[in-house]
Amino acid sequence: MTEFGRFLRARRGGISPADVGLPARTGPRRTPGLRREEVAALAGVSIDYYVRLERGKETRPSPAVVEALAGALRLNCEERDFLRGLAAQAARQAPEPRPLPSRRVRPTMLRLLETLRPNPAYVVSRTNDLLAANPGGLRLLHGIEDWPERQRNTIRYTFLHPAARDLWADWEQKAQACVAQLRAIAGTDPDAPDLASLVGELIVKSPDFNRFWERYEVRTIGDGEKTTYHPEVGKMTLSHEALTLNRGQGQRLVVYLATPGTPDHDAMTLLDLIASPRPPRTGTTSSAGSTAPATASPCSDPTTPPPDPTRSHARPRHDR
């Protein structure tokens, strides 16, 4: 079975006859969601042809058939693009070798990360390898700096780091979005070594990732809002933007923001201060000055000042 066929099967399993205006039949249904013959009827193709598509025996559906299937399965714009990519991939005779994307971050981006302080910000690869961060951006992902730099990946962190489930207020939603983002990449470049390596690791190590992966949900990450329970500064609700970098081979700049004068902005500013290393003592010299510029090798041993006694640092028990 091809990825195209697996996607069709997964999506028809998540749609009820009522969702597409089909009359309810009496008696139990052995198949969750739509039957193959129902999808075929909605798309205007024969049952035999649809079965061959789903089983991978037919690998060259026409663009019109792909669009008809997308309509029958009620796919949104991102999911339609994903299905088109899978159809094109299934029609290829052999995978084309692709070089790994560069991990190099342009010096101008490193300066921009520093300029964005106290807003936490970082640069990630297309598969969310953490390539560079300003002090608050690195500290926001509590505990990730304990990992070796090559292991730091925000999706790996979400599923495998013990601190992640307590950090994100809605871990389930965050985790589903991570998997849907990887699914979107898989639709256009399923043979990419960086993607295959990360997905293979997480399927083996995380049952939750495996469960979400089989849903075939597709989504790209853009703007939004996240609430965290950070052990050093307490609860924060921050907006975020993810911007694709020109000539960055899929690299994205992720920035978190809060309205000045709010408790969330105060907590965000405190996080940046905590993450900044101590200025050099009198009589010593430092080429880096008194601040920690953003680099592709972030400081992994920041000095932590005493916590602000006016803020609660503990996550409420009922929110866990």
More confident residue, 223 or 99: 223
Output the CA angle 119-317-255, nearest 5 degrees. 15
Under the banding of pLDDT at 50, 70 and 90, the label for residue 72 is confident
Domains (range + CATH), the chain: 3-91 (1.10.260.40), 107-319 (3.30.450.180)
Structure-block tokens of residue 33? 């969601």
Cβ-in-10-Å burial (0-12, 13-18, 19+) of 178 comes to buried
Q: Which amino acid is at 80?
A: R
- Which helix (DSSP H) or strand (DSSP E) does residue 262 occupy? none
Q: What is the pLDDT of residue 168?
A: 96
Which residues lie closer than 8 Å to 317 by C-beta, 6 or more apart?
Answer: none
Q: Where are the alpha helices (DSSP H) in the chain?
A: 3-12, 36-43, 47-55, 63-72, 77-91, 107-115, 135-140, 154-160, 164-167, 171-188, 193-205, 207-213, 263-275
Mean pLDDT of 208-232: 89
Cβ distance 112 to 134 under 8 Å? no
Q: Encode pLDDT of 109-142 as tens digits.
A: 999 999 999 999 999 999 999 999 999 999 999 9
Q: Encode pLDDT of 249-276 as tens digits.
A: 889 999 999 999 999 999 999 999 999 8
Structure-block tokens of residue 15? 């749609």
Instruction: With a cut of 70, say whether residue 104 has pLDDT above it.
Output: yes
Mean pLDDT of 172-183: 93
Under the banding of pLDDT at 50, 70 and 90, the label for residue 2 is confident
Helix, strand, or coil here: 77?
A: helix
Q: What is the pLDDT of residue 296?
A: 63
